[in-house]
Amino acid sequence: MIAKSAKELIDICNSNNIKLSEYAINREIDEKNISREELFLHMQETLNVMRQAANTGRKKEVYSLSGLIGGDAFKLQKYLESGKSLLGNTAVTAMAMALSSSEVNGSMGKIVACPTAGSCGILPAVILTAGERLGKSDAEMIEGLFAAAAVGMIIGMNATFAGAEGGCQAECGSAAAMASAAVVEMMGGTPEMSLNAGAIVFKNILGLVCDPVAGLVEIPCAKRNVSGAISALSTADLVMAGICSKIPFDDALSAMYKVGIELPASLRETALGGIAITKTGLELKDKVFNNN
């Protein structure tokens, strides 16, 4: 049975006594007609690419082709190693990983566009740091990715992942909602708790516009990946402490989609509003395209 809403997804998982990840795994096996082993091998390759992109910028400075972003993941990693950070290892490593993937994306390196290239830093940062903190194996982190996929299926069916359609709340918001739900499952939470996490993430990012400087997925995108990763991790802790979302996931998702559609075109990836048309945003655009 295919879930068309979060409520149906929770019901299916509960009545079959399965996790969100198992739902997604079963669907993939059915649709692709492959074995569980083949599916996990494929997802291992995906995790490998995520890990590479999340770590490259922590080990050396990586710059985007435009020169608009770069070197920040390395800077943050050095800061973490200095022992002076406020938030500590898990959070700051996630922040550095989110920046790294964004920088690798801007440098035309290999990333996993999950769910989009613009938000490619969030899921790897969250799964890898939570996985390390919880002592999870690669196979368990892969299950986390499948849990995220189960939530992504519901988002894709009922809303959008595209900044051009729903603003950054649809891109970075979806990535963070999927990631938070996955971590809740990795921490032993129920499907309902995972969807609670997704709902809280969407509520907290509602209305975020898409306004990339020069139309490139760099400013403010890289730092929005950082906030998305932190939102996902902090929300997982909220939910695991027993805190619920009063607004269920389906309602929060529907609100996100409606708000996205109501956003003016200038705030939906056209680079005609928001940060993109600030004085500095326009100067940077000029620099990129006119080599000034």
List residues binding ligand SF4 (CB under 6 A): 118-119, 163, 168, 171-172, 210-212, 217, 220-221, 224, 269
Strand partners, 268: 210
Residue pair 177/197 in contact (Cβ under 8 Å)? The answer is yes
Give the shortest CB-75-to-ligand SF4 separation in angstroms: 20
Of 156, 144, 208, whose CA–CA distance to 182 is shortest?
144
Nearest approach, Cβ of 17 to ligand SF4 (angstroms)? 37
Q: Which is nearer to ligand SF4, 70 or 220 (CB)?
A: 220
Nearest distance from C-beta of residue 86 to ligand SF4, angstroms: 25
Contact at 8 Å (CB) between 183 and 232? yes
Q: Measured from the CB atom, is 27 or 207 closer to ligand SF4?
A: 207
Q: Residue 198 CB, nearest distance to ligand SF4 (Å)?
A: 18
* Cβ neighbour number for residue 9 with a 10 Å cutoff: 25
> What's the min distance (Å) between Cβ of 67 and ligand SF4?
17
The residue (of 8 and 273) whose beta carbon lies closer to ligand SF4 is 273
Backbone angles phi, psi at 24, to 5 degrees: -65, -40
- Structure-token match 């500590």, residue found: 88
Q: Which of residues 198 and 220 has its CB atom nearest to ligand SF4 in the complex?
A: 220
The residue among 115 and 198 lying less far from ligand SF4, judged by its C-beta, is 115
**Nearest-angstrom CA–CA distance, 281 and 249:** 35
Between 200 and 221, CB nearer to ligand SF4: 221
Q: Check if the beta carbon of residue 212 is closer than 8 Å to that of residue 266.
A: no
Q: How far is the CB of 228 from ligand SF4 (least distance, A)?
A: 9
C-alpha dist (Å) from residue 160 to 49, 215, 218, 261? 24, 20, 21, 10
Distance CA 150, CA 131 (A): 18
**Cβ atoms of 97 and 125 closer than 8 Å:** yes
How far apart (Å, rounded) are the C-alpha atoms in residues 68 and 102? Answer: 12
Instruction: Supply the minimum distance, in Å, between the C-beta of residue 145 and ligand SF4.
Output: 20
Residue 79, helix vs strand vs coil: helix
For ligand SF4, which is the closer residue by CB, 167 or 248? 167
